[in-house]
Amino acid sequence: MKIFNLILLALVNVWIAFALPASTYEDSTFSYELSTSNKRAVITKVIDKKATAVTIPPFVTVEGQKYFVTEVDKQFLGNTNVQILHVSSDFNIYPNIVLNFRNFAFLGAYNLRTINLKGNKITASAFNGLYGLSDNVLIYGDGTQYLIQDVCFKLLKSWKLPTLKDYTILPVDDMKKDLFTLAKRVKENYEIDSNVMHDDNAAVVFALGRGSRIGIGRVYRNLALYMGVEYHRVQVIADKKSHYAWNFVSTPLNNGTWYFVDIYGNSKNLDCCVYNSDFFMHQNTFKWNILEKVYKEKKLAIPSEDNDDWDNWDKEWVVYNDRIGCEGGVNQYVYPDVDNFSIWIKGKVTVPPKYIFFYV
């Protein structure tokens, strides 16, 4: 009887071992770490060393059981030939599933050139989830704004700045002080770098910490929006040749009055320790003679063939309505740029739909 019980116990243990899903799993593309308790999967690496394009699926099926892919581990693309990474649009079928890139997920991804975020809910661990990407990378797709939202909330929290603050019920100076502090933080953490291929793309600038003046202006605008500034009160404006780019903000009590945010213009403006609006945001900077003088002195554009007629100089400035600057995707956030500066400043431009926040 005792021998029978021992044999039965051994058979039960063997049955349990085969019945439980394995802790790891491989398909033709990825290696996964599986959690049997919550049916979640982590992509640990790409096993197809010859693949140049891979797609992250929303789930893998092992022994008839779905395991939802919720995380991507560090260096999962290391020592591979992958140039294009897609996040499958099938993630959108499962609204409760969020895909997170862990710290240093892209470390060693030297060949990666394109990240197409087709899934709507993408996050990155603070703050190294996007670390390791090359200067040539392009980030785009419908999930880009959600990724930017996630990064913005984490940055604002680390900088001790508010999120989704209702400035419409507060003194105007509260908003100006926060915008001033935000500009200091952006200047401390982002730098102008012409070597970045897609330097106007806000997602790329967030990832690399470097980009163009327009790209950094978009970073500032996104951060301001998630800080609580109304979407139509913070803009990115640049000349068409991108020699100059600034942010402009208006306050709830001063409709029609815009303040000038020059993050990289005069360093002493942002190095002061005590807030003073005169140092940073100058009322009525939109006087025609100021920008006209800049244009004439720098000879940044030729409004007419004879180079003497400056009646149309304002048409050489662009209001960048697109928050991200993506090539493709994110159609609900791609608004036409405004080529006529004077029409925009007079408020005759159609305002885009109210900004939509995403929530998990």
Tell me how far apart the alpha carbons of residues 137 and 110 are, in angstroms, rounded to a whole number: 10
Residue ranges in 190-227 assigned as alpha helix (H) = 202-208, 213-227
Is-contact 240 317, C-beta < 8 A? yes
Tokens 């996964």 identify what position?
32
Please report the pLDDT score of residue 125 as a whole number: 87
Domain final position from 90, 106, 134: 134
Please report the pLDDT score of residue 286 as a whole number: 33
Same domain membership, residue 156 and residue 128: no
Domain final position from 134, 167, 193: 134
pLDDT tens for 145-156 read: 899 999 999 999
Tokens of 240: 């068409």
In a domain, 8, yes or no: no
Residue among 32, 37, 102, 97 nearest 70 (CA): 97
Count of residues for the chain?
Answer: 360
pLDDT tens for 270-284 read: 333 343 444 444 433
Peptide bond preceding 127 in cis form (omega within 30 of 0): yes
In a domain, 3, yes or no: no
Please report the pLDDT score of residue 233 as a whole number: 82
In a domain, 13, yes or no: no
Same domain membership, residue 305 and residue 158: yes
Three-state DSSP at 288 gives helix
Per-block mean pLDDT, blocks of 10 residues, the chain (360 long): 51 44 86 96 95 98 96 94 97 95 94 94 85 93 91 96 94 83 88 92 94 91 93 77 69 63 55 41 36 42 41 60 66 45 48 35
Q: Which residues pair with 40 in a beta bridge?
A: 35, 68
Domain final position from 134, 157, 172: 134
Q: Is residue 70 left, alpha or beta, with left meaning phi > 0 and alpha meaning psi from -120 to 50? A: alpha
The parent domain of residue 34 ranges over: 21-134
Dihedral pair phi/psi, residue 224, rounded to 5°:
-65, -40
Please report the pLDDT score of residue 256 as a whole number: 53
Same domain membership, residue 206 and residue 57: no
Q: How many CB atoms lie within 10 A of CB 300?
A: 16
Residue among 165, 109, 155 nearest 132 (CA): 109
Please report the pLDDT score of residue 279 as a whole number: 42
Same domain membership, residue 170 and residue 228: yes
Q: How many CB atoms lie within 10 A of CB 294?
A: 14
In a domain, 9, yes or no: no
Tell me how far apart the alpha carbons of residues 226 and 149 are, in angstroms, rounded to a whole number: 7
In a domain, 119, yes or no: yes
Please report the pLDDT score of residue 208 as a whole number: 95
Tell me how far apart the alpha carbons of residues 350 and 291 are, in angstroms, rounded to a whole number: 24
CATH number assigned to the domain comprising residue 107: 3.80.10.10
Same domain membership, residue 123 and residue 220: no
pLDDT tens for 152-169 read: 999 999 999 999 999 989
In a domain, 115, yes or no: yes
Residue among 90, 186, 187 nearest 142 (CA): 90
Three-state DSSP at 182 gives helix
CATH number assigned to the domain comprising residue 323: 3.10.620
Please report the pLDDT score of residue 56 as a whole number: 98
Tell me how far apart the alpha carbons of residues 298 and 89 are, in angstroms, rounded to a whole number: 47
Same domain membership, residue 312 and residue 197: yes
Same domain membership, residue 173 and residue 103: no
Please report the pLDDT score of residue 332 as a whole number: 38
- What is the model's pTM? 0.79
User: Regarding beta strands 245-249 and 259-261, do their DSSP bridges make them parallel or antiparallel, or are they unpaired?
Assistant: antiparallel
Same domain membership, residue 256 and residue 169: yes
In a domain, 272, yes or no: yes
Tokens of 221: 């605008």
Burial of 28 (0-12, 13-18, 19+ CB in 10 A): exposed
Please report the pLDDT score of residue 176 as a whole number: 80
Same domain membership, residue 100 and residue 56: yes
Same domain membership, residue 262 and residue 152: yes
Task: Look at the chain and report how many structural domains it folds into.
Answer: 2
Same domain membership, residue 155 and residue 207: yes
Same domain membership, residue 240 and residue 112: no
In a domain, 309, yes or no: yes
